[in-house]
């Protein structure tokens, strides 16, 4: 089944404790992206990747890092999480950046205390 | 400023009724407009995608319209079902500052009651 998977689905952590949210897609898509979703706001892009070893900042990249060593994986790293990073995070992929169809993962709900 | 505004913020209707959700945008230049359905606790799922040359597109009981002149789109849901309860997100894409961007609306939360 074609899908985007994220792990973990739920995470509660403390300020400053490094964490990684994994994202994997099995559709051989070149383009992958991370978004955060907060109440009353639309999804906002954190980082995106056009292909392996090519990453770039989105609209809200501060406090996040990403890597794209393999085509299928695009982990999101929070080196020193803070409470303002409490949010719902989505990974998405598409064949190319401007492709019409974008597939979203199930989401990761992160709480930083 | 490139923005996507959706209305209403929330809507409650009875099962079997029709409803229309609105999306106004100021994104320019415009590439395409998408409507997504997001069930609670899940990722968005695409319903329709329209380019600037398309006026209407249907997906089952969902029909999207687009007026590129007035920069307005609507999503019409016919004969609503309980499973239509979800958030509906309008997304406009285009090339801005030499990069391809998707601008997301904040969504309309629809509740269908029996």
Give A21-39 as a DSSP string: EEEEESS--SEEEEEEE-T
Q: How far apart are CA B103 and CA B95, in angstroms?
A: 11
Percent of chain A with pLDDT over 90: 88
> What does the pLDDT look like over A87-100, one tens digit per residue?
999 999 999 877 77
Q: What DSSP designation does A17 have?
A: -
**E strands in chain A:** 4-7, 10-13, 19-25, 31-37, 44-51, 54-57, 65-66, 76-78, 87-94, 103-104, 108-112
Predicted pLDDT at B11 = 97
Q: Check CB contact under 8 Å for A4 and B43.
A: yes
pLDDT for residue B114 is more than 80: yes
Residue A74 pLDDT: 98
Residue A104 predicted with pLDDT over 90: yes
CA distance A33 to B107: 20
Report the range of poorest mean pLDDT among A41-45, B26-30, B110-114.
Answer: B26-30
Indicate the pLDDT class of residue A24, thresholds 50, 70 and 90. Answer: very high
The pLDDT-based confidence of A33 (bands split at 50, 70, 90) is very high
pLDDT of the residue at A93: 96
Are the beta carbons of A106 and B42 separated by less than 8 Å?
Answer: yes
Of B31, B42, B46, the CB nearest to A107: B42
Q: Kindly tell me if the per-residue pLDDT of A86 is higher than 90.
A: yes
Instruction: Provide the pLDDT for residue B2.
Output: 73
Q: Alpha-carbon distance B113 to B94, whole Å?
A: 37
SS3 of residue B82 by DSSP: helix
Residue A51 in contact with partner chain B when CB distance is under 8 A = no
CB A85 within 8 A of CB A73: no
Task: Between A96 and A63, name the one with better pLDDT.
Answer: A63
Mutate to test the interface with B, among A33, A39, A42 (most CBs of B within 10 A): A42
Q: What band does B29 get if pLDDT is binned at 50, 70 and 90?
A: confident
Question: Chain A interface, mutation test: which of B102, B104, B107, most A Cβ atoms within 10 Å?
Answer: B102
Residues A104, B45: C-beta atoms closer than 8 Å: yes
CB A87 within 8 A of CB A21: no
Query: Cβ of A55 under 8 Å from any chain B Cβ?
Result: no
> ∠ CA(B64), CA(B110), CA(B27), 5° rounding?
45
Q: Residue A43 and residue B44: Cβ atoms within 8 Å?
A: yes
- CB proximity B34 to A under 8 Å: yes
Contacts of A98 in chain B (CB under 8 A): 31, 93, 100
What is residue A38's predicted lDDT score, i.e. its pLDDT? 94
């Amino acid at each position: 089944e074609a899908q985007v998977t994220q792990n973990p689905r739920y995470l509660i952590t403390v300020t400053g404790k490094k964490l990684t949210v994994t994202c994997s897609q099995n559709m051989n898509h070149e383009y992958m992206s991370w978004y955060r979703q907060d109440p009353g706001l639309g999804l906002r892009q954190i980082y995106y990747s056009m292909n392996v070893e090519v990453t770039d900042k989105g609209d809200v990249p501060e406090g996040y890092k990403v890597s794209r060593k393999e085509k299928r994986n695009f982990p999101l790293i929070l080196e020193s999480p803070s409470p303002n990073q409490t949010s719902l995070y989505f990974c998405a992929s598409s064949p190319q950046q401007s492709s019409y169809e974008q597939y979203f993962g199930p989401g990761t709900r992160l709480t930083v205390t | 400023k490139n923005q996507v505004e959706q209305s209403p913020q929330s809507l409650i209707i009875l099962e079997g009724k029709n409803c229309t959700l609105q999306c106004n945008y100021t994104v320019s230049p415009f590439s395409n407009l998408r409507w997504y359905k997001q069930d609670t606790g899940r990722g968005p799922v695409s319903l329709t995608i329209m380019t600037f040359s398309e006026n209407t597109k249907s997906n089952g009981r969902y029909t999207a319209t687009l007026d590129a002149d007035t920069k307005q789109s609507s999503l019409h849901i016919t004969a609503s079902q309980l499973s239509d309860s979800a958030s509906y997100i309008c997304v406009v894409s285009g090339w801005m500052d030499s990069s391809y961007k998707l601008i997301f609306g904040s969504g309309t939360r629809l509740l269908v009651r029996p």
